[in-house]
A and B are shown apart, each in its own frame.
Chain A
Amino acid sequence: MQTNLVGLKSNKFLLFCLLTVGFVVVISNLAGSQAATVTTDLLYVPVSGGLLVLSIIIAVKFRGSGETGKAYLLFVTFVSFWFAGEVVWLRAELVSHLVPFPEETDWLYLAGYPFLLAFMIYYLKPFRNAFSKKMVLNASLATAIFLVPTVYTMYSFNPAASLQGIVWAALYPLSDAMVLFPAVLGVTLFLKGKVNLLWSLCCIAIILNIIADSGFLFLDTDNSVHSGNPVNILYLWAYILFAFGIYSHVKLFIPPKMKSFGKVDDLK
């Protein structure tokens, strides 16, 4: 875990990406809600598109071989749904000037969750014999820690919202909590391993999504939600963390550099 944290700290590019995205969204918010909406909507496409490209690269590397290969095909499907969701949202809000909730974008986002869950199940399947009761208990506790306050928030802060609104808004944090369980299992299972970076970043990304979804649920009560709201930073960060997690896996395929002995005569 410590080595991973050191690895995370040293990953200056990840930090740079997170800070840049955060800075751009905050600055655009200072310029007004319209500017923030346009900037944020435009940011989602390259960020989620980058994740899609990386996930296609890793899926091609694994060529559907074994459980991990199948897992990555499912991950590509998950990211494709979310990327399509971002593109449809961008078109609906900036071109058609519609606010589509709960419309096709929500269907696309929600359709992605089962594939994310299936990705985790398939990835963990070959290592299922290493699960201990303690690991399962820890993952259950971590899930409950996020799920219970979310359910509480759902009922406490939305007395005026329609039942349909509550159900739609609650579906997101509940789906997040559902995928958090295998993510925490993965983090504990691959502890200290290079593979752990992917699982740690996925886990943090899911937690960010839970916080952001709960934030939207809360903001929805006073109608202060707009597409450029700074809460979006968390969604964008989640995409970046997923992307860096996948990149850490792609890096495992890089063949080692063989040191040249230079002039062979010098060795004699």
Chain B
Amino acid sequence: MLDEKAVLASKKALFAMAVEDALNEAGQPWNKIVANELLRKYRCSISDCLEHPEYLKDVLNQIFGYAEIVVVAKIKKNLGEFGQERSVGEVLKVLAK
């Protein structure tokens, strides 16, 4: 049970790093903007979006509009092999919808 929790926590941390790095090229403060919006609308953090990718998808779309596809592509690239894991692959599918 504890192991499962630890694995989930590390997956969440990796996912959050991938998202934050994707936003960093445009500027670090974009992380704060996205985090603010997630908190305002869904009361969750970037790492929580591993379990609720539709929240992140909605917020990225709400902020960047059509340009969201670039951020999603960068997240996918940053996740690398980790993105090929089935659970993470599902998350990427939701983000790319």
- A-to-B contact residues, CB < 8 Å: 61-63, 65-69, 126-130, 188-196, 252-256
Contact = CB atoms under 8 A, between A and B. Distances in A.
A190 B40 contact: no
A66 B24 contact: yes
Given A65-B28, A66-B24, A193 B63 contact: yes
B61 A130 contact: no
A195 B65 contact: yes
B70 A126 contact: yes
B68 A68 contact: no
A66 B32 contact: no
A252 B66 CA distance: 18
Of B28, B61, B67, the most chain A CB neighbours within 10 A belong to B67
B65 A192 contact: yes
A252 B67 contact: no
Interface in B12-66: 24-30, 32-33, 36-37, 39-40, 61-66
What class of interface size applies to chain B in its complex with A?
Answer: 20 to 34
Contacts of A129: 69-70, 73
Contact of A67 (B27, B36, B37, B64): B27
Contacts of A191: 65-66
Given A252-B36, A254-B36, A63 B66 contact: no
A68 B27 contact: yes
Contacts of A128: 70
A67 B36 CA distance: 20
A195 B64 contact: yes
A113 to B, nearest CB: 24
A192 B70 contact: no
A138 to B, nearest CB: 13
Nearest to A259: B43
Given A65-B29, A127-B70, A193-B62, 20 more contacts: A62-B27, A62-B29, A65-B28, A66-B24, A66-B25, A67-B25, A68-B26, A68-B27, A69-B27, A126-B25, A127-B67, A128-B70, A129-B69, A130-B69, A188-B66, A191-B65, A192-B61, A193-B67, A194-B63, A195-B64
Contacts of A69: 27-29
Contacts of B24: 66
B25 to A, nearest CB: 5
Given A66-B24, A127-B70, A253 B65 contact: no
Given A127-B70, A130-B66, A193 B61 contact: yes
Contacts of B39: 255-256
Contacts of B33: 252-253
A68 B29 contact: yes
Contacts of B62: 193-194
A129 B66 CA distance: 11
Contacts of B68: 193
A195 B32 contact: no
Given A66-B28, A253-B33, A253-B36, A195 B63 contact: yes
